Amino acid sequence: MSYSGFPRMQHKKKLKPFTTSTPNNIIQIYQQIETTPIFKKKFQELSAAYDVLGDEKKRKKYDTFGDTPLGTGELSEEEVFGKMSQAMEEMMGKNEDFHRGANIELPMELTFEEAALGTEKLVDYQVRVECSQCNGLATLPGHYPEMCFSCNGKGFTTSGKGMFMQKRVCTGCSGTGAKISHPCKVCKGRGTVPKARKLKVQIPSGVDTDHQVRLADKGNIGDRRSGKTGSLYLNVTVKKHHLFRRENFDVHSDVPITVSQAILGDTIKVQTLGGFVELKLPSGTQPGEKRVLKRKGILQDESKSLGDHYVHFKVIVPKSITKEQFELITLFSKNEKISPEQLSQPKWKTILYNIKSYFWKP
């Protein structure tokens, strides 16, 4: 006994019946293999023969040892169909880069807190799925796709030679590798139909405007069972926050304090992404001075580390004061240890000098 009924040492003749088969014969056999035992057996023989004849070492072992060239007996069903699928793809020149389903892009607007901490969103969108009428074959019942002879079923054509060779989507079959003579009336020969889909999406922490969140295999499937499913891309836009601003993974905020708080010091509450925290304000705090709250910033999804929160103090100068307040401030300003010459320099302008300059009318 021998593979495919051919005698040993005649491997060059073994593939002749298969090479003379038409592309439509191969496609029809491939589609019926799961339902017709005889075709399953024939393809098992084809797979074994192709595996042996395509490898010089295995062919020599076969010529020497006979039906079990690898010394392992018959191939398992999984191995047979795995090798058969690989052989069919190689014979038909399959290239999934030209058959992949189209990607889908959707806008995704997030609040500052959602982008910083991560969140779950429900996405509604239209996606192309396999046609249930023709099971993705794109043909009427009893008919099958025919191989495109413009590209020999590859879905693409080539031009040029060597490093200058270029691949282009076949215009005869739109990259599917097959032509439809009797198209399905439901999907109009595409093998796919549009369908509304709702999907729960986990948005990672730390995303920002112009970031993309990719969800693999959540896009459109390829027409006519012609390749991998595309991806879903969410284009992120983050709303501006009324308190917070962002620099990388750090958060900045301006915190207003009164003149008396700046002079005397105080304990204040500062809002952060995680809620309010108490912060001790030292006496003599200057306008624009900042404090750092460690690990109160944005969570980095990949490293799981936290940025910092920078608090910038803004001293609020009152626009109107009482006569008594004015007299006290004037008295206090006369006792300041900084000379008027020093006060004229920007770095020596203290809170009291700012107040005096605002209210003093020479």
DSSP state of 122: E
Segment 309-335 shows an average pLDDT of: 87
Work out the average pLDDT over 193-205.
96
Which token pair is 331? Answer: 């008295």
Q: b/e per residue, 101-125, with b = 16+ CB within 10 A?
A: beebeeebebebbbbbbbbeeebee
Report the DSSP pairing between strands 119-130 and 192-203. Answer: antiparallel
Which of 40-54, 185-199, 242-256 shows the lowest mean pLDDT across its residues?
40-54
The predicted structure's pLDDT at residue 234? 97
- 284-290 mean pLDDT: 92
Residue with the larger pLDDT of the pair 208 and 226: 208
- Rounded to 5 degrees, what are φ and ψ at 32? -100, 0
Whether residue 11 is predicted with pLDDT greater than 50 in this model: the reply is no
pTM: 0.62
| Fold classified for 104-238 | Chaperone, DNAj Protein; Chain A (2.10.230)
d(CA 98, CA 27) in angstroms, rounded, equals: 19
Task: Name 121's bridge partners.
Answer: 201
Q: What is the mean pLDDT of residues 101-127?
A: 96
Q: pLDDT value at position 162?
A: 66
48 with 59: CB under 8 angstroms? no
Strands 156-159 and 104-110, how do they pair?
unpaired
Instruction: Map out the domains of the chain as residue ranges.
Output: 3-92, 104-238, 241-316, 318-362
Q: What is the pLDDT of residue 252?
A: 97
Burial 168-178 (b: 16+ CB within 10 A, else e): ebbebbbbbbb
pLDDT of residue 17: 47
Q: Render pLDDT for 140-192 as a digit per residue (tens, 0 to 9).
A: 998 988 888 888 888 888 888 766 778 888 888 877 788 889 999 999 988 89
Q: Given this model, what pLDDT does residue 207 score? A: 95
Alpha carbon distance 130, 225 (integer Å): 8
Percent of the chain topping pLDDT 90: 40
Give φ, ψ of 130 to 5 degrees.
-65, 135
The CATH homologous superfamily for domain 241-316 is Urease metallochaperone UreE, N-terminal domain (2.60.260.20)
* CB distance 207 to 115 below 8 Å: yes
